[in-house]
Chains A and B, each alone.
Chain A
Amino acid sequence: DAKTTQPPSMDCAEGRAANLPCNHSTISGNEYVYWYRQIHSQGPQYIIHGLKNNETNEMASLIITEDRKSSTLILPHATLRDTAVYYCIVRVPTQGGSEKLVFGKGMKLTVNP
């Protein structure tokens, strides 16, 4: 089961910042939070990940609360091409001692003109 919860959908105006929330209240101290998105029927696209500190790359910023129980993905200037399903994921252990991504239902972001 996914260890994260997200609202099912959100709308955003083109050019505005999109703030996508995620709750992960059961996260462990050494587990990273990952964000992916899936545009239409393409493969999931990696966006960003973080552990404790806020992170920023060319696509987005990730703000993680101090207690690490929630995070927010920020798309600073949303465009129509950012319309997608966004997944907030905490990796879970595999049988082999590694980790895998468990996808929840994600959140559908619609950017409106």
Chain B
Amino acid sequence: NAGVMQNPRHLVRRRGQEARLRCSPMKGHSHVYWYRQLPEEGLKFMVYLQKENIIDESGMPKERFSAEFPKEGPSILRIQQVVRGDSAAYFCASSPLGQGASNSPLHFGNGTRLTVT
């Protein structure tokens, strides 16, 4: 049973380019969460998605960042016109249940480390 798969593991972009981060949840999981971790800091929630729906994007920056989780395929976190401050580790987590699922742990991938030069 494969875990949460994220790719690429490492991504280098120049300022102004676009970054696309992919997350394939665990089999049978239809809920995806994205978190960002800046160097030497804790994880910060960004967005929570179900298939084809954004449920909570309260942690997403208002500009340049977007996320989707289509009916088919992985979830994508997209960062347009990257800046050096976007350099961070981006983690995806998935769970089989969402609403009212306090008893359902999230399982995390090993992240994508974005470096903006």
- A residues contacting B by CB (< 8 A) are 30-32, 34, 36, 41-46, 49, 51, 87, 91, 94-106
> What is the size category of the interface that chain B forms with chain A?
20 to 34
Given the interface contacts A95-B58, A97-B99, does A46 sit within 8 Å of B109 by beta carbon?
Answer: no
B98 at the interface (CB under 8 A from A): yes
B69 within 8 A of A: no
Contact of B48 among A32, A43, A87, A94 (CB under 8 A): A94
> Which chain B positions have C-beta within 8 A of A104?
42
Closest 3 CB pairs of A and B: A96-B55, A43-B108, A94-B56
Contacts of A45 in B (CB 8 A): 108
Cα distance A99–B93 in the bound complex, in angstroms: 13
- Residues on A with C-beta less than 8 A from B48 are 94, 96, 98, 100
> Which B residues are within 8 Å of any A CB, using their own CB?
4, 31, 33, 35, 42-45, 48, 55-56, 58, 89, 91, 93, 98-103, 105-111, 113
Kindly state the separation between the CA atoms of A51 and B105 in the bound complex, as whole angstroms: 13
State in angstroms the CA–CA spacing of A46 and B101 once bound together. 16
Which partner residue on chain A sits nearest B45 by CB separation? Answer: A100
Asked if residues A106 and B55 are in contact (CB atoms below 8 Å), the reply is no
Q: List 27 A-B contacts (CB under 8 A).
A: A34-B105, A41-B111, A43-B4, A43-B108, A43-B110, A43-B111, A46-B106, A49-B103, A49-B105, A94-B48, A94-B56, A95-B58, A96-B56, A96-B98, A97-B99, A98-B31, A98-B56, A98-B98, A98-B99, A99-B102, A100-B48, A101-B33, A101-B106, A103-B35, A103-B42, A104-B42, A106-B42
* Contact call B42/A32, Cβ cutoff below 8 A: no
Known interface pairs A32-B103, A49-B105; A95-B55 also in contact (CB < 8 Å): yes
Do A32 and B108 touch (CB < 8 A)? Answer: no
Q: Which residue of A lies closest to B98 (CB)?
A: A98
